[in-house]
Structure 1
Amino acid sequence: MAQFNTLARLQSSKAALEKSRLQVEPLPPLQEGEITLQIERFSITTNNVTYLTFGEAPLHYWSFFPTGDSDHAHMPVWGFADVVESTVSGIECGERFYGFFPIATLLRMRPERINARGFFDAMPHRLPLTSAYNFYTRCSADPAYSQDLENYLALLRPLFVTSWMLADYLQDNQFFGARRLVVSSASSKTAYGAAAWLSEHADVELVALTSAANLEFVDALGCYAQTFSYDQLEEIDSDGDTLYLDFSGDPELRSRIHRHFGNALVHDCLVGFTQTSEMVSAGQRELSGPPPKFFFAPEQIRKRTADWGPAGFNERFAAAEGGFIAKLSDPGNDWMRIVEHNGIESAQALIADLVAGRMDPRAGHIVRLDANGN
């Protein structure tokens, strides 16, 4: 059996997320009960910046793939990897899995609760962490999987599960009494996924906020009733119960929203951060009206799994995801184009651009690695 004993991995500075370093180091020998996966393809989006931004709280994203250095963390990504070593019955070399990975060439895992769909990684440091991130799906058993759709699955599945569960959470709570949703960073893929679903399945007005450069793009998406630039925020009608759906995390924008809508603002839902230069927690800034409440997709997943049963949840999600990916992978779709990059160094540049906000909203970025990280 071939030996895989050299690991290349990218680590991000916790103090300056745009800065990263590449390390090449020995990988200890494979132990009984472990497997080695070679990470071959993954997406990088603003969602991954959110993982880094939140760090140890509330979902302990820095803890999934420890670096051994208190100043640096792994950025978690979603993608595909192949088993290249296995000492575990039921996991064969050559099998391909989808899941949560570091930006690295290889990952050691300890599979447990193995079944036809996949397995959970039971490395000791991962046991206390959110189980939704510890499950790895066998591509051969995934009804949505197609080799031709790998790039779309890597990009859209982690975003759409957040989008879909967010839409479900809002519907489940009757939009907290709101009849209008004001959506910041409306050009982001996660915002679009939620807005696209709600525009077809809910009787609520969706109002987009975006940069002036993205106005035309967002307006053409077709799921927002109105589109405004951030400079035009105060032009939005402030009457009527309003829910703020915050995908930007910009504290100044949040303050403007609260001032402008005043008592009409019934809920402030914080989903993710696309702006990270001046991030503050909800308790660090005094606001009139409802305090920001962070949305946790895993909590809504747990609730709906209890409500519908695991099979019922998987069936509903597969149908929603399949329709969304079919729509966006259609050759006539001009909402997103796939951009492939090769090598860990390309991931460094993408992360820096994402943190700085230098990204084309139409681009979906995929990084491919070989065994050497190229």
Structure 2
Amino acid sequence: MIDKLEAIKDRFEEVGQLMIQPDAMADMKNYTKLTKEYGELEKIVKKYEEYRQVLDNIRSAKDVLETEKDDEFRELAKAELDDMEPQQVTLEEELKYMLIPKDPNDSKNVILEIRAGTGGDEAAIFAGDLFRMYSLFAENLGWNFSVISLTDGTVGGYKEIITSVTGEDVYAKLKFESGVHRVQRVPATESQGRVHTSAATVAVLPEAEEVDVEVNMGDVRKDTFRASGAGGQHINKTESAVRLTHIPTGIVVECQDGRSQHANFDKALTVLRSRIYEKELAKQNAEISDQRRSMVKSGDRSDKIRTYNYPQSRVTDHRINYTVYNLPTVMDGQLGDFVEQLRIAENAEKLQEG
């Protein structure tokens, strides 16, 4: 571990030197990568320096115990050793986890897509409940939540809603949410009081920047049309809605949330870029052998990942067999327990691989 940490410290110093070169900012793409790498390495280097200081203190205390005859000095050294040795163990564990290869997308913003699945009107209502859950989760973390496009359900909720979520480490906390979410409850539309099972799918796409995906606009067909739904006279009388079609992949994106065509175009392009990026990520993940594919984050939208059982007030994550009996609290955006348990499971997998 020390060899790895020394190599990281050397790279940290090298990156620091590269950033202060006179022509460093001439290539902004490369400079952005360097600043990001510097910030990530700095956290590890600071923790490593703290660890080295603790090791030095332990060595000094042991030297005193071996050479010093004065009982008072020996007692002080013994007390310091008792204090420092647990710190050494804690710091070693922290460093071990910091050395786990980080998902390069963890710091990205995301495009969050929620769609009603099986279950008709109840599925659309549940999709609305999930949207509210994620909105409150984002609000608790100080993230920004912005609707890009939506299609209302017949009796409430959404057939589909696509949002942009921006903030600190958004993908790191939401990446485990992709998949099928199942609900078991008596629907508001059910007159007989029977429990039904419905589902909604969630897709979490890391928001791709221009440096990640270069979209040739010659490959994109742009169509404009009048927006539907709420928005007053202006939004329905002008062709402010935008549809983008990426001809090579067949990916189609619509945006009609903003009042201006320009704003809708920018939002639609962001989603298009992210979907192309996700397609490339999926291709890379498919190349990973079944033995090494993560059980926690497969990225397969058809995987049933979580059940919300209202009669039992139970929420179960099937990937890690983790169950809580506080469903109302979870639906009010308190997802922290699930995020943490899934993160621990992912780190355990990576450590095992390592």
Provide TM-score, normalisation by structure 2.
Answer: 0.27
Larger RCO: Structure 1 or Structure 2 (Cα < 8 Å, ≥ 6 residues apart)?
1
Q: Which has the higher strand share?
A: 1
User: Which has the higher Rg, Structure 1 or Structure 2?
Assistant: 2
Whichever structure has more helix as a proportion of its residues is 2
